[in-house]
Amino acid sequence: MKSKKELDKIIASIGDLPSIPKVVAQVMELTEKPGVPVSEVSALIEQDMGLTAKLLKVSNSSYYGMRQVIGTLKLALVILGIKEVRNIVVGISVMDTLKDPSTSFLLNEEGLWDHSASVASFSKKLGVQLELDLQGEDFIAGLLHDIGKLVLWKQMPDEYEEIYHAAKEQEVPLFQLEQQELGFDHADIAAALAASWSLPDSLTDALSCHHPHDDRTMADCANPQLCAVVRIANLAAREDFQLDGADPESYASCTEEVAWGQLPSAGLETSQQRFDLLKQFADEMVGAQQFAY
C-alpha cells in the first residue's frame, strides 16, 4: 500500500478531494458507539429522505440479493444490521458526491455505473457464498472500486480524458497507462479519497487493491478476503459467462491465484469449479432488475 505521505503527494498533484458529506460523518460517528439503539440510527438517516429512499432501493434490488422486501429503514437496520446499513449509506453518499454533469459521460455513456453495480453484485454473492461475514463491505467496495476514475475526470479533465481514450485505442489496461503517465492510478485516488474521509481501512485497502500492483500486497491488507472478492468480481464483471464451450482457463477471474488464495478453497481449487460458481452468479444477474441511480 502507498503510505499516507505518498497519498498526500498524489492529492496535492490533482487538487483538493471532495469533502465528506455531513450525514456520512454523523452516521459513521454514531454507529461506532457500542450498543447504539436502532431507533437513534434510523432517526439520523431519516432526516435525509432522499438518502433513505436510495438506501431502500439498493437494499431491495435484485443485485443486492435480499430474499424479502425491506419496506422501512428500521426493518433494514434489523435485518441487515447497523454496520451493513452504514456501509450502504457510505456507498450511496460517495456516488452522490461524485455524480454531476461532468461525470455523466463515464457513468452513463461509458457504462461505469452498470459495471460498478455488476462488480458490487459479484462481490456480494461471493461474500455470502463463502460466508465471509463482510457486513455489506463486499457490495459497497465493489460499487465504489472505480470512484478514482470519477475523481480524476472531475479534477483533471483534459489530461485524464486523453489518457482514458488512449488506453481504449491502444487496448491497454487503463490503470497501467495511468501509472505510466501520472505515476499513480485510479485505485490510488480511490484509496486517497477513502482515507481522507476516514473510511475503514478494510474498505480503503479493497479500493486500492482491485488491480494488482507491485506496491499492493493483498496479504498485508486490513481484510485480504474483502480485497480478494472485489478483485475477482471486477474481472468477472467484464467477462462473458454465457459463451458455449467456454474454457475456464481463459477467464482471468478464474485464474487470479493471488485473490483466490485468500479465500476458503474447499470446492474452488480448480478453474472449472470457480467458473461454475461465477457463471451461476452471472446467470442470476441476467435479466435482473438493476437499481437505477
**Quick one: which of 97, 95, 87 has its CA closest to 17?**
97
Could you tell me if 141 and 178 are in contact, meaning their C-beta atoms sit under 8 angstroms apart?
Answer: no
Give pLDDT, residue 282.
94
* Residues sharing a CB contact under 8 Å with residue 19, sequence separation 6 or more, in sequence order: none
Burial grade of 165 (CB within 10 A; 0-12, 13-18, 19 or more):
exposed
Q: Which CATH architecture has domain 9-15+101-285?
A: Orthogonal Bundle (1.10)
Structure confidence at residue 7 (pLDDT): 67
Q: Given this model, what pLDDT does residue 64 score?
A: 82
Binned average pLDDT, 10 residues per bin, the chain of 293 residues:
65 77 91 93 93 90 82 92 92 89 90 93 95 93 95 91 96 95 92 89 94 86 96 97 92 97 94 97 78 56
Q: Is the pTM of this model over 0.85?
A: yes
Cβ proximity of 223 and 202 under 8 Å: yes
For 28-33, the CB contacts below 8 A with 24+ separation are 28/86, 28/90, 28/198, 28/199, 31/82, 31/83, 31/86
Distance CA 226, CA 206 (A): 6
Q: Are 15 and 193 in contact (CB under 8 A)?
A: no
pLDDT at 291: 59
Half-sphere exposure of 202 (CA within 13 A, CB side): 15
Task: Kindly state the cell numbers that stand for 246.
Answer: 467456454
Give the domain ranges of the chain: 9-15+101-285
